[in-house]
Amino acid sequence: MIQMVAETPHEKWRAETMFTKEPGTVAWIQRECQPGDVFYDIGANVGQYTLMAARQVVPGGCVVAFEPHLVNAMSLLRNVALNKMAGVTVITSALDKMQAFLSFHYQQIAAGSSGSQLGHTRDEVGETFTPAVTELKHATTLDALLADDVIPVPSLIKIDVDGNEFLVLQGMDRTLRQPRLRSIQVEVHPSSHAKVTAFLSAHEWQEVETHYTAGGQAEIDKGADPAKVFRNVIYGRL
């Protein structure tokens, strides 16, 4: 059993929908995570998938959870402690295509919220928002962290960063070539699907599965064009 702190409506919703919001993500984690694996949860929020993966890769493996939203990261740490979960490392630096200090704009300050943006104030559908607060955030790349031996080489990577997924991918050129890495799941937006897939194809990765959130699937069931609905895409090696 996984326990989660639920002091805000956002946290309560994430706890209640842990297994139903993204059934494809749950199935991917349950199918792919093995003892001894290293799982990167990029955009971990309060840690529902971090905890799910850790239960399968530990002992012997670990989860590296990236969450730059400091309130979410604190809730994530509390959830790790609540579950007495060993093998989880939390990093609050933001991932990007370069190393820099950039403005991190919080769309909301509450734990469990999402939509914050690094370096700009456009949300994931391109609309401008007024930040609740802005923090000067250290941004780095996966390649830099691996080159400095800060984190272990990944077996699986999940990327869900509210529209900035392509920037994260651009900062992991060498990471994508690691033989140990065998599966990647990326949240893909309609406007970025082609360039994400092309970028990964150039690094000898191919699209092997697409799945939608429960909300996205409900839109499709009502007649929405699937090509215009956010989805998660799983990539495997060519």
Per-residue confidence of the chain (238 residues) as pLDDT tens digits? 899 999 999 999 999 999 999 999 999 999 999 999 999 999 999 999 999 999 999 999 999 999 999 999 999 999 999 999 999 999 999 999 999 999 999 999 999 999 999 999 998 888 899 999 999 999 999 999 999 999 999 999 999 999 899 999 999 999 999 999 999 999 998 888 999 999 999 999 999 999 999 999 999 999 999 989 999 999 999 8
Q: What is the largest CA-CA distance in the chain?
A: 49
Q: How much is the pLDDT for 109?
A: 95
Q: How much is the pLDDT for 124?
A: 84
Q: Give the residue ranges of DSSP H helices in the chain.
A: 9-16, 23-32, 48-57, 70-82, 142-147, 165-170, 193-202, 214-221
Q: Give residue for tokens 């399968």.
A: 56
d(CA 190, CA 208): 17
Each domain of the chain, given as residue ranges in start order, spans 23-103+139-185+200-205
Reduce the DSSP state of residue 114 to 3 states and report it: coil
Q: How much is the pLDDT for 126?
A: 82
Q: How much is the pLDDT for 125?
A: 82
d(CA 41, CA 16): 20
CATH number of 23-103+139-185+200-205: 3.20.20.20, 3.40.50.150, 3.20.20.10, 3.40.50.720? 3.40.50.150
